[in-house]
Structures are given as structure tokens and as C-alpha cells.
């Protein structure tokens, strides 16, 4: 916990002890930003709105919403009346809002000027631009506002550079998992338990064990299917809730296992498993930016009316309309 977090934690107490007050004084000693935080907080308290104080994150999401961007917390819409009420009451909150909104506008304009030449994005300049962000930092009511500029900047950049289909990729089967009842081997069931506990590496080990013990079992395709899904789930990571990235090795392992599931499942009664496998193979190829490899799998799912038909149609539309 940094000093500002500690300061906010103390200020949020209902009754401050002498020790708490001493700690606040110590945290503010020689720190102008900390002193501003205390002043703003006390003014809000005097305005009788401290019980409904708007957090910095909520204010940031509100700015994003007003500027036509998708906020990280979609529930911010329900707080808009309260936020706007407090903006009318508190001059300090209004100043912070105006600052954040100005930062967003400047970031948007800067990205437009920097990354667009004759309508074409200059992706190669992204890293150089991020290195030069210090030139755009300003003083604000809170030191954390500088972070908001970077946050807004990155959000806009991602909105420009991320293909539409990347926002619709699914690598986890959250449907009614009938496959969990399709195989009763001990290793398979233990693998499912590890998946539920989000211990993906142990799940991979147990599923591989199940496959090695009985590679030609009548229902072994279930193990290949689940193992493939675990690899796909394991491939995804993100930074700051903004950057979604995929591990190519895990994606390829997932594709291989799902293909094996289809190969080993020759029973028409379980055709749904194969169609699900095709859908997720297509998603894995999209994550690898292999659009032409992905399309045939989605076309099979839509033609055969698989469980993920509607989403496959959405992905095909986003592929055809990719920017």
C-alpha cells in the first residue's frame, strides 16, 4: 500500500483517533499532493456527500462513457445521476472532471494526429509515442491524474488498432458442459476438479495422464476436448485490464487437441462435441490472426447449426467487416 492509499484509508474512517490524525499529518508532511487530497476530502465531507463520494475510477469511467468509449465498469451508467448531482455540488470534483475530460480530448486528438496518415494507421510508431508520453504530463489535483492520461491514451490506441473480431473471441466453453458427464475415469474427473479450482497446469497433467493410460478408449475424445479447452484458456492473459494477449504455443496445443477430439469422436450421437470443437478452433485461429484458417470452422458451425451458431455468425460478420 502506497502513502496515498494509506491516506485515503485513514480519511475514510468514521472516527479518527489521535494516532490516526498524527499519521495523516506525517503523510502530508512536505507532500503538496497529499495536502490537496485532505483538503478536497474535507470539503466533500462538509458538503454532506461523503457517504456517496465518487471514486477516481468511477469518475474516469464516467468520462469514458461521455466520450463514446466503453467504460471498464459498465455499471457506471446507473451512477450517472449521482455523479452529475455531485458535480453540481462540489467544485473540486467538477475541476477534476474537467481536467480528466480535457486529458481525454487531448489524448484523442494526439492519437488521431500521430497514428493516421491518409486514413492509414501508423502502428510502427506506437512504441516511440509511448516513450514520449512524459512530454504530455501535467500537474493536476491528484498525482494519479497523470496515470489517467496514459490510461485514456492506451484505451484509444487499442480501440484504433484492435480488429473488431478480436473483441468477440471466445476461448472458454461456459455452456452446459455435457462432456463432464461423458467420461468417468478417475484422471478425467480429477482434471475437472482442478479446472474448477483454476489450477490449469494440474488439470493439464491429469488429462494427459488419462489420455496416456487409455489412448484408444471409446470416450477418450472427451479428454482431448477438455484438454484443448484448458490450453486455450491458459493462452490468454491481460495487462491492466486493457491489453489482451495470447500465447501462441498454448493456442496451437489447444487446436491440436481439439482436432484429435474430432478425429476420435466418430459417434454421430455426440456430433455436438465436434461442432463445439470447430467453433473454438476457429476462435484460436482468430487469436493467432489467421483469419482464412478460422473462417471454414465458423462456416461449418453455422451450416450444421451448432450450439455456438449465433456467435459464429457474429464472428463471420466481424471478419468480413474487419478494419
| Contact by Cβ (8 Å): 102, 72 | no
pLDDT at 155: 56
Cα atoms found within 13 Å of the Cα of residue 53, Cβ hemisphere only: 17
CA 45/CA 133 separation, integer angstroms? 35
pLDDT at 145 over 50: no
Identify the weakest region by mean pLDDT among 4-18, 56-70, 82-96, 280-294: 4-18
- Parallel/antiparallel/unpaired status of strands 236-239 and 243-246: antiparallel
Total residue count of the chain as it appears in this document: 323
Q: 176 or 30: which carries more pLDDT confidence?
A: 30
Task: Identify the weakest region by mean pLDDT among 129-133, 206-210, 274-278.
Answer: 129-133
- For residues 180-198, average pLDDT: 87
Task: Give 291's pLDDT tier (boundaries 50, 70, 90).
Answer: very high
pLDDT at 117: 43
| Phi, psi (degrees; rounded to nearest 5) at 86 | -70, -30
Of 44-53, 122-131, 213-222, 245-254, the one with minimum mean pLDDT is 122-131
Cell triple for 263: 478425429
Strand blocks (E) in the chain: 116-117, 120-121, 236-239, 243-246
Are the beta carbons of 27 and 6 closer than 8 angstroms?
yes
The pLDDT value recorded for residue 206 is 96
pLDDT at 49 over 50: no
| CB 200, CB 194: distance < 8 Å | yes
Q: Is the pLDDT of residue 146 over 50?
A: no
User: What pLDDT is attached to residue 20?
Assistant: 83
Question: Any bridge partners for residue 245, and if so which?
Answer: 237
pLDDT category at 121 given cuts 50, 70, 90 is very low
Return all residues near 69 (Cβ < 8 A) that are at least 6 apart: 155, 156, 159
Task: For residue 243, give the nearest of 134, 162, 142, 140 by alpha carbon.
Answer: 162
Predicted confidence band at 85 (pLDDT cuts at 50, 70, 90)? Answer: confident
Output the pLDDT for position 134.
39
Q: Please calculate the CA angle 58-149-35 and round it to the nearest 5 degrees.
A: 70
**List of residues 6+ apart from 110 with CB closer than 8 A:** 136, 153
CA 246, 315, 73, 82: dihedral to nearest 10 degrees?
160
Q: What pLDDT does 174 receive?
A: 74
Count of beta carbons in the 10 Å neighbourhood of residue 5: 9
Question: Which spans in 16-140 are helix H?
Answer: 18-28, 32-46, 56-66, 76-89, 91-115, 126-131
β-pair partners for 246: 236
Q: Looking at residue 176, what is its pLDDT?
A: 59
Q: Which residues pair with 237 in a beta bridge?
A: 245
pTM above 0.75, yes or no: no
Q: Which cell is 241 given?
A: 485490464
Quote the CA–CA distance of 315 and 309 in Å, as a whole number. Answer: 10
Residue-range domains of the chain with CATH: 31-161 (no CATH), 166-320 (1.25.40.10)
Pairwise CA distance, residues 128 & 131, whole Å: 5
pLDDT, one tens digit per residue, over 153-166 is: 555 555 555 666 77
Question: Residue 154 has which C-alpha cell?
Answer: 492506451
Q: What is the pLDDT of residues 168-177, one digit of tens each?
A: 788 888 775 6
Alpha-carbon span 21 to 130, nearest angstrom: 40
Mean pLDDT of the chain: 77
Amino acid at each position: 500500500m502506497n502513502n496515498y492509499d494509506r491516506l485515503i484509508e485513514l480519511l475514510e474512517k468514521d472516527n479518527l483517533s489521535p494516532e490516526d490524525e498524527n499519521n495523516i499529518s506525517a503523510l502530508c508532511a512536505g507532500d503538496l499532493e497529499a495536502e490537496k487530497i485532505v483538503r478536497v476530502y474535507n470539503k466533500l465531507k462538509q458538503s454532506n456527500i461523503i457517504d456517496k463520494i465518487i471514486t477516481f475510477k468511477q469518475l474516469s469511467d464516467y468520462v469514458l462513457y461521455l466520450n463514446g468509449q466503453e467504460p471498464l465498469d459498465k455499471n457506471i451508467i446507473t451512477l450517472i445521476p449521482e455523479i452529475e448531482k455531485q458535480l453540481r455540488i462540489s467544485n473540486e470534483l467538477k475541476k477534476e472532471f474537467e481536467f480528466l475530460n480535457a486529458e481525454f480530448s487531448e489524448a484523442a486528438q494526439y492519437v488521431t494526429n500521430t497514428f493516421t496518415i491518409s486514413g492509414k494507421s501508423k502502428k510502427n510508431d506506437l512504441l516511440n509515442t509511448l516513450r514520449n508520453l512524459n512530454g504530455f504530463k501535467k500537474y493536476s489535483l491528484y498525482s494519479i491524474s497523470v496515470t489517467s492520461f496514459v490510461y485514456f491514451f492506451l484505451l484509444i490506441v487499442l480501440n484504433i488498432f484492435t480488429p473488431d473480431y478480436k473483441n468477440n473471441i471466445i476461448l472458454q466453453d461456459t455452456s452446459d458442459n455435457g462432456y463432464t458427464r461423458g467420461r468417468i475415469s478417475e484422471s478425467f474427473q480429477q482434471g475437472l476438479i482442478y479446472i474448477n479450482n483454476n489450477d490449469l497446469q494440474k488439470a493439464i497433467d491429469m488429462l494427459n495422464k488419462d489420455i496416456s493410460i487409455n489412448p484408444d478408449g471409446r470416450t477418450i475424445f472427451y479428454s482431448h476436448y477438455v484438454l484443448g479447452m484448458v490450453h486455450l484458456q491458459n493462452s490468454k492473459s491481460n495487462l491492466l485490464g486493457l491489453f489482451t494477449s495470447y500465447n501462441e504455443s498454448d493456442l496451437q496445443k489447444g487446436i491440436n487437441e481439439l482436432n484429435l477430439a474430432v478425429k476420435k469422436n466418430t459417434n454421430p450421437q455426440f456430433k455436438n462435441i465436434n461442432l463445439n470443437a470447430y467453433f473454438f478452433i476457429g476462435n484460436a485461429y482468430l487469436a493467432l490472426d489467421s483469419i482464412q484458417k478460422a473462417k471454414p470452422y465458423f462456416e461449418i458451425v453455422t451450416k450444421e447449426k451448432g450450439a455456438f451458431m449465433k456467435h459464429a455468425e457474429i464472428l463471420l460478420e466481424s471478419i468480413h467487416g474487419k478494419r
